[in-house]
Amino acid sequence: MRKRPYLTKDMCIRVVRSPIRAELQESDRYRFWGSVDELGGRFLRVITLSDKLTIHNAFLDRRFSP
């Protein structure tokens, strides 16, 4: 993650495998949210392509509330 060096691929994979919430986004992409302990329990949003495996984007979501 060049733009976000504090994120790791492992964190993103964990969120996709066991999300708090997941939903279909327009353009056949999926959003997954999950809490990441290494980041102080903050919520990470991971966007995947339609296969739900290929990570398109990932970032901390400050407005998410479970």
What residues does each domain of the chain span? 9-60
Does 1 have pLDDT greater than 80? no
Rounded CA separation 22/33 (Å): 6
What string of DSSP letters covers 2-53? -S-TT--HHHHHHHHHS-SEEEEETTTEEEEEEEEGGGTTEEEEEEE-TTS-
Does 66 have pLDDT greater than 90? no
For residue 58, the model assigns a pLDDT of: 96
Does 2 have pLDDT greater than 90? no
For residue 34, the model assigns a pLDDT of: 97
Rounded CA separation 30/12 (Å): 13
Sheet holding 29-36, edge to edge: 21-25, 29-36, 42-48, 55-60
What does the pLDDT look like over 6-65, one tens digit per residue? 999 999 999 999 999 999 998 999 999 999 999 999 999 999 999 999 999 999 999 998
